[in-house]
Structure 1
Amino acid sequence: MLNSVELKDYMLRNPVKVNQRDDLFVAIDLIVSNKISGLCVVDDDNNLVGVLSETDCLKAILGARYNQESSVGPVRDVMTHDVFTVTSQADIVDVAQQMMKRGFRRCPVVDKGKLVGQITCRQLLNGVEKFPEKQT
């Protein structure tokens, strides 16, 4: 049986983020240059307002091209607004189970509405691998 460990010990404390008002191509550049599959979207006060994935970006670009539009607009127009979040005090095993159940590879960590980090499958694996093995 795995022990419980708080998420704050394993989360990324400075996740790549973008402001909701930024142009979509600013976000795409961040995704590509950081070699990540998505990023957190915040407002001017660092409140989490959504997430933006590679898929969100592709849909927006293809939609603009199909509609022969010259621009794609700000991040807020294409981001995912309804976001599953956890707190930094959450139990790492509970978070891992929720992420697997929902099919998520990453999850923003929010305390009092503010983005304080992000947990990914890789960080979860780092945490789980440090649990002592149960003797049989």
Structure 2
Amino acid sequence: MESMKVADFMNRRPAVFTATMPIEVAVERLLQTRQRGGPVVDDQRRVIGFLSEQDCLATMLRDTYHKEMSANVGDCMFKGEVLSVFAGDSITDIAQRMDAKKPKVYPVLDDDNRQLVGVISRTDILGAIDCYFLDSYRRR
């Protein structure tokens, strides 16, 4: 199972955001992709933050209450250190790090230049482990 890598199971075309993107556009993108959140990147595709459904919900409720629609992703995204993984990381290692308090979606960075190359979710990890076990059962 150690041979199973993040690169083999990650979403290579995730919803990605920029800090200047209007929150309404970001929400529509999340809804279309059914992704729970996604990385916010700069012009070099380096991760500078993370936008979650929770961030969007809080912002939209506030703006609706005040009858405003002017927030950008940069106004409500998480700006601290974003927990990320590398494409070459083991699925097993990532699965062990994904406990209840951790993100449900991790940005995946290129091993060399640390640019965003995808995302991996708990669902992707679960699917990878399921594939491993199904394959193991077939060999018996």
Does the alignment reach a TM-score above 0.5? yes
One-letter amino acid matched to 1:80: F
Over residues 15-71 of structure 1, what are the superposed CA-to-partner deviations in whole Å (9 max), with x where a residue is unaligned? 1112111111110111122222222211122111111111101111223344x3623
Which deviates further from its counterpart, 13-22 or 98-107? 98-107
Taking a change above 3 Å as real, the CA distance of residues 77 and 113 of structure 1, as seen in their structure-2 partners, is farther
User: What residue ranges of structure 1 are gaps of 5+ in the alignment?
Assistant: none
One-letter amino acid matched to 1:70: E
Aligned partner of 1:124 in structure 2 is: 125
Aligned partner of 1:57 in structure 2 is: 56
The two structures have a TM-score, normalised by structure 2, of 0.82
The whole-number CA distance in structure 2 between the counterparts of 1:123 and 1:30 is 19
Over residues 75-114 of structure 1, what are the superposed CA-to-partner deviations in whole Å (9 max), with x where a residue is unaligned? 0110112310010111111101111253322111012331
The two structures have a TM-score, normalised by structure 1, of 0.85
One-letter amino acid matched to 1:6: K
For these two proteins, the number of residue pairs brought into alignment is 131
Which residues of 2 match residues 64-103 of structure 1 at below 5 A?
A: 64-66=63-65, 68=66, 70-82=68-80, 83-100=82-99, 102-103=101-102
One-letter amino acid matched to 1:13: R
Helix, strand or coil at the partner of 2:98? helix
How far is the alpha carbon of 1:123 from its aligned partner? 1.3
The whole-number CA distance in structure 2 between the counterparts of 1:14 and 1:33 is 13
One-letter amino acid matched to 1:128: I
Runs ≥4 in structure 1, deviation > 3 angstroms? none
